């Protein structure tokens, strides 16, 4: 892999990981459409370290509050504040995705990366996101999330193991289905992505390091992912404060059309 290819893939990862358009689909499709060799899931996951850095920095105030909550809960054995509850809900929401990753990891590395599956899931989740977002009233904020909400959104995150679904797409759709307002659905989606991203990096990054080492392409990809992830968070939270997710649903359908057209052209 060249530095330029890693730069492109890093930018693709960062810009699409936190938008509801599926980074795994883009990382699988980019080499396919450009005629590059697929670097594989391990390299894709290594790029997630860049996204992880952006998440830690952007939400640093929230993470510090939750670290304090963990210390307080450990001392008092009680859950009292909003930050205590948010920490509990993030832990609960992470469990389904963790179990799903252990059970479906092999399929995620092989069968699920089929362009036919990716094209189909891009359309299905895009239509679902549009329909749910359009009909859901803007009534609840992130401070009003309950344990049931955390379980439902956590289960929705499991679907993101299939490229084309999108972790943020599935969790934002679930959040809107539960009547969270758009910024709250996006913010909770971003916060709950951090634990599962940490787990993915811990388990898969060693394989990428064995294959690539601390090479210039790998470091370039991670740096590009970090910068573009921070940009994606900033833009999306500002955008959805005034607009719907409809533009992302439309993009998903158009991308799927490109995928199927390319498949047909190549026979």
Each domain of the chain, given as residue ranges in start order, spans 3-266
CA 162 from chain centre, in angstroms, equals 12
With a cut of 70, list the residues of the chain below it in pLDDT. Answer: 41, 101-102, 104-113, 138, 204-205, 208-209, 211-213, 267
Cβ-contact 67, 239 below 8 angstroms: no
Quick one: tokens of 252?
A: 């998903």
pTM: 0.86
User: What is the model's pLDDT at position 115?
Assistant: 80
**In whole angstroms, what is the distance from residue 236 CA to residue 243 CA?**
10
The secondary structure element, H or E, covering residue 121 is helix 115-135
User: What is the model's pLDDT at position 135?
Assistant: 85
Nearest Cα to Cα of residue 162 among 100, 205, 204: 100
Q: Which whole-number Å values give the CA distances from 69 to 80, 93, 123, 238, in the listed order? A: 9, 17, 40, 28
CA 225 from chain centre, in angstroms, equals 13
Reported as a single tens digit per residue, the pLDDT across 197-253 is 887 777 766 776 676 667 888 889 999 999 999 999 999 999 998 899 999 999 999
User: What is the model's pLDDT at position 129?
Assistant: 94
């Amino acid at each position: 892999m060249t530095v330029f290819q890693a730069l492109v893939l890093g930018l693709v990862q960062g810009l699409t990981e936190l938008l509801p358009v599926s980074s795994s689909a883009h990382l699988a499709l980019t080499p396919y459409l450009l005629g590059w060799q697929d670097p594989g899931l391990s390299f894709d996951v290594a790029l997630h370290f860049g996204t992880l850095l952006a998440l830690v920095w952007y939400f640093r105030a929230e993470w510090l509050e939750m670290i304090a909550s963990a210390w307080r809960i450990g001392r008092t054995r009680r859950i009292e504040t909003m930050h205590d509850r948010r920490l509990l809900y993030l832990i609960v929401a992470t469990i389904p995705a963790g179990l799903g990753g252990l059970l479906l990891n092999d399929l995620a590395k092989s069968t699920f990366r089929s362009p036919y599956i990716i094209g189909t899931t891009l359309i299905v989740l895009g239509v679902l996101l549009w329909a749910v977002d359009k009909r859901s009233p803007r009534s609840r904020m992130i401070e009003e999330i309950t344990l049931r909400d955390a379980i439902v959104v956590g289960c929705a995150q499991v679907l993101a193991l299939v490229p084309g679904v999108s972790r943020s797409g599935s969790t934002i759709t679930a959040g809107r289905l539960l009547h969270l307002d758009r910024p709250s659905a996006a913010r909770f989606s971003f916060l709950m992505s951090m634990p599962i991203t940490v787990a993915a990096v811990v388990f898969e990054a060693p394989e990428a390091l064995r294959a690539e080492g601390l090479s210039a392409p790998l470091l370039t990809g991670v740096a590009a992912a970090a910068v573009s992830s921070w940009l994606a968070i900033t833009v999306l939270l500002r955008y959805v404060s005034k607009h719907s997710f409809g533009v992302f649903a439309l993009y998903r359908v158009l991308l799927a059309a490109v995928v199927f057209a390319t498949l047909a052209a190549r026979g």
